[in-house]
Amino acid sequence: MSGGKRNPELDKEAQQWIEAVIGEKFPGGSYDDAIKDGILLCKLINKLQPGSVAKIATSGGGFKLRENVSAFQNAARSYGLPDAELFQTVDCFEKRNIAQVTSCIHALGRQAQKKNFSGPTLGPKMSDANVREFTDEQLRAGQGMVGLLNDGMNKGASQAGQNMGLTRHI
């Protein structure tokens, strides 16, 4: 039951990153089962931003464990993840769209790098803005170039010999 297309390699990378950050291995069983109750996700966000989830439920049935997933989502949002990068509680808890959960974990990894998290990294480093400052003189010189570029575009261009498929019937 997965809503999105799953990539086992991305799941594996996410699992390895979570294990490295929280310092514990996933329990036996599937990746889906290990993350569905939100406990590991809450431990992860608490490592990235201590105190994000004050109380992690480790027992108490479905409703209590489902609250872990919601707590993780709220903490991830306040850590800087946009809603588009998050997942629905049922995606994780009912394993409806684990691909989206994994995508969220990868987004969290990118955000952690952006915030200079000193621990293990997940995925490529996000690029920083490459802001360029130009003097007024440089900007004026550039404006003159646009005209030269446009002049060159039309040199030698002509519509001679093109009839555009139009024919006259007499």
Distance CA 66, CA 117 (A): 27
Residue 141 reports pLDDT greater than 80: no
For the chain, the 3-state helix, strand and coil shares in percent, each to the nearest 5, are: 55, 0, 45
Class of domain 8-121: mainly alpha
Mean pLDDT, all residues of the chain? 85
79 vs 105: CA distance, rounded Å: 12
**Is 11 in contact with 101 (CB distance < 8 Å)?**
no
Residue 38: is its pLDDT beyond 60? yes
Residue with tokens 């039951």: 1
* Minimum mean pLDDT range among 86-90, 97-101, 104-108, 135-139: 135-139
| Higher per-residue confidence, 3 vs 10 | 10
Residue range 107-133: mean pLDDT, rounded: 82
- pTM across the whole model: 0.72
pLDDT at res. 5 = 84
With CA atoms as reference, report the closest residue to 34 among 54, 15, 6, 9: 15
- Cα separation, 89 vs 37, in Å, equals 10
Residue 94 vs residue 150, higher pLDDT: 94
Domain residue ranges in the chain: 8-121
Q: Is residue 149 pLDDT above 60, yes or no? A: no
Q: Which residue has the higher pLDDT, 88 or 3?
A: 88
Q: Is the pLDDT of residue 123 over 60?
A: yes
